[in-house]
Structure 1
Amino acid sequence: MNENAHQSFTELEVWKKTGLLKNEVYELVKTFPLEEKFRLTDQMIRSSRSINSNISEGHGRFTYKDQLHFCIQARGSLSETYNHLIDALDCRYINGEQLTYYKTKIDEVERLLNGYISFLRNNL
């Protein structure tokens, strides 16, 4: 059973950091051209939200194995979000400095997420 069962997912540092990233991505895509609303903008919002959603859903599962599965899904969504940011750079919706800024945020979230994944693996 999860030792963190008494703790809400909202108390997890990794969930808090992914929430900040999600919010920043949401603000960023508001600057994209309107024709991207149902393309890149939507994809970026969905992938960044998916990181938080998977962490919270995994936290609500009973076993470490289930929690691990959802955290690995979250890591995939984190990579997807970074890929979309690279697409935004390629389309010239953001510049290199902005991409570097978001990459730093993504790296921080990835470190926290990898730490949480290691914790879960060690408790299998």
Structure 2
Amino acid sequence: MQDYKELNVWKKSHQFVIEIYKNIISFPKEETFNLVNQLKRASGSIPANIAEGCGRYTQKDFASFLQNALGSAHEVEYLLLLSKDLKFISSDQYELLNEQICEIKAMIMLLLKK
């Protein structure tokens, strides 16, 4: 297929994971195995699924991994809203991260339409 590191959606989602890790540092310690773990797993799943899909030989397989990445992006979108509502992140942090995850979702959807 293609080198995942060349895809803009992979680059953007990889940087997004880094931003998530920076933002969850301030979460309460009791959330380490709950919300923190879910955000790490779901956000990391986005670029990981894109990378794995790029290693497949058919467009159908690639699309399946993109769908998994999109599902993880939707999960992250909700977890960010929950984090804001629980006041673990500020409204400004939420707006910035939500804008990024919405851009990533749109990019994945465009790839799925190809």
TM-score (norm 2): 0.95
Percentage of pairs with the same residue: 35
For structure 2, which runs of at least 5 residues remain unmatched after alignment?
none
Aligned-partner residue type, residue 4 of structure 2? F
**Which runs of 5 or more structure 1 residues have no equivalent in the other structure?**
120-124
- Alignment pair present for 1:8 and 2:3: yes
* Alignment counterpart, residue 62 of structure 2, candidates 62, 67, 70: 67
1:78 corresponds to which letter in structure 2? Answer: A
State the shift of 1:92 in Å: 0.8
For 1:109, the aligned partner's letter is I
Question: One-letter code of the match for 2:39?
Answer: M
Q: Which runs of 4+ in 1 moved over 3 A?
A: none
How well do the aligned residues superpose, as a CA RMSD in angstroms? 0.9
Select the structure of larger CA radius of gyration.
1
Instruction: Write out per-residue CA displacement over residues 36-85 of structure 1, whole angstroms, 9 at most, x where no aligned residue.
Output: 11110000000000001110111111110110000011000001011111
What TM-score do you get using the length of structure 1 for normalisation?
0.88
Q: Is 1:17 the equivalent of 2:7? A: no
Report 1:13-92 matches (<5 A): 13-92=8-87
Summarize deviations over 1:70-118 as a string: whole Å, max 9, x none.
Answer: 0011000001011111111121101222211111101211121111111
Q: How many residues align?
A: 114
